[in-house]
Amino acid sequence: MSNAPLMPMATAVWLVENTTLTFKQIAEFCKLHVVEVQGIADGEVAKGIKGYNPIIAGQLTRDEINLSANDEDRPLQIQNTDVEISYSEKKNKKYIPLSKRQDKPDSALWLIKNYSQLKDSQIAKLIGMTKNSVTSIRNKSYWNFNNLNSKDPVALGLFSQKDLIEADEKAQRRIKREKKEKEKALKNQ
């Protein structure tokens, strides 16, 4: 038995309005009762529900609808029951509560000590503070430097271990590239 389409009632509304399929075919495809589909056609059921196009959703093809429209005994076959949920890698800036904001300079100090190869701009991006603040912490000229305590930002939940690993790998690639450029410059002298 095939799965019901996404938003079955709205799909049934669209099929009633846009196809010549029988009520039985629509009911079987949408996992609804034939009387419900009849009610949709009469305007008594699903009032105000906007039709959901299963062709655009990738659940039916125009050919599939035409095959079933020409043969009343042929049930509709759903094309794709896997709904793709795309995960955007771009991370939204999330709200950092006041209690955690004071951990940012401490985290910057920790990163400077433990991942000195990271650029100030990388640290600023990871933690969510300005590059100037990170630079002043690195130069020990930060206004509150004497009161900073080095704290692991991953443990504090400011960003994930994956983010730290990616930033570190990027820094390592930059260092290798700069080293090659220096060697090339020395050979050319």
Tens of pLDDT, residues 121-147: 999 999 989 999 999 999 999 999 999
Per residue in 34-90, pLDDT tens?
999 999 888 888 888 888 888 887 888 888 888 888 888 888 888 765 555 555 555
- With 60 as the cut, is the pLDDT of residue 159 above it? yes
Given CA atoms 170, 175, 180, 184 in this order, what sign does their dihedral have?
positive
Q: Is the pLDDT of residue 157 over 90?
A: no
Question: What is the pLDDT at residue 1?
Answer: 44
pLDDT for res 170: 94
Burial class of residue 57, CB neighbours in 10 A (0-12, 13-18, 19+): middle
Helix (H, G, I), strand (E, B) or coil at 61: coil
Q: How confident is the model over 179-188, as a mean pLDDT?
A: 88
Kindly report the number of other CB atoms within 10 A of residue 134's CB atom.
27
- Looking at per-residue pLDDT, the higher value among 188 and 135 belongs to 135
Q: How far apart are CA 6 and CA 32, in angstroms?
A: 13
| Model confidence pLDDT, tens digit, residues 46-62 | 888 888 888 887 888 88
Which residue carries 């709904």 as its tokens? 83
Residue 94's pLDDT is 64
